[in-house]
Amino acid sequence: MTILKEMLAYLVFVAIVGLLSAWPDYKLLNDDRAIISIVFSHAGQRMGDCRMLTQEELNKLPPNMRKPNDCPRERYPIEVKLLSGDSLLYSAVLPPSGIWSDGKSSVYQRIEVEARRHELHMTMVDSERTSGYDYVLERTLDVQPGQNLVIQFNEERKSFVVE
């Protein structure tokens, strides 16, 4: 009798697990929606120019610290904007990482959009520039329902990449 009760308990457990694995239905997105993901890390320009040290300045430094150039460590924050037509989808000023603000600025942003044709205009400023942009992406894309469109920044080519 105990084995029968145990088998019945296992059967009920398996039925509940099977039911919960198929119900309720879960959809990440509605049928008419898609996702645009902005994912990259990029180091802004240095806040200042490197300068050559004089021989007198080099002599004052310990031997292991003697390098001919003195470059500032701190970097500019990067400013990223993404527009679809005239509507602003994302805008952020991202500070550099690190204790000395000398690392890369990182962005990971998921934006839910309507699945349709989008005229994407993405800009990034990574310098002291006050007008204009350092990098620009302009592309017209047909975004399909359920699609996850990823925008990255290629450091070697110094340009945005859409996948």
pLDDT of residue 1: 65
C-beta of residue 53 within 8 angstroms of C-beta of residue 68: yes
pLDDT of residue 81: 97
Query: CA-based diameter of the chain, in Å?
Result: 95
Q: Distance of CA 120 to CAs 22, 114, 146, Å?
A: 38, 13, 18
Low-confidence stretches of the chain (pLDDT beneath 50): none
pLDDT of residue 137: 95
pLDDT of residue 57: 86
pLDDT of residue 130: 87
The candidate with the shortest Cα–Cα distance to 135, out of 124, 147, 150, is 124
pTM of the model: 0.77
pLDDT of residue 78: 96
CA atoms within 13 A on the CB side of 31: 0
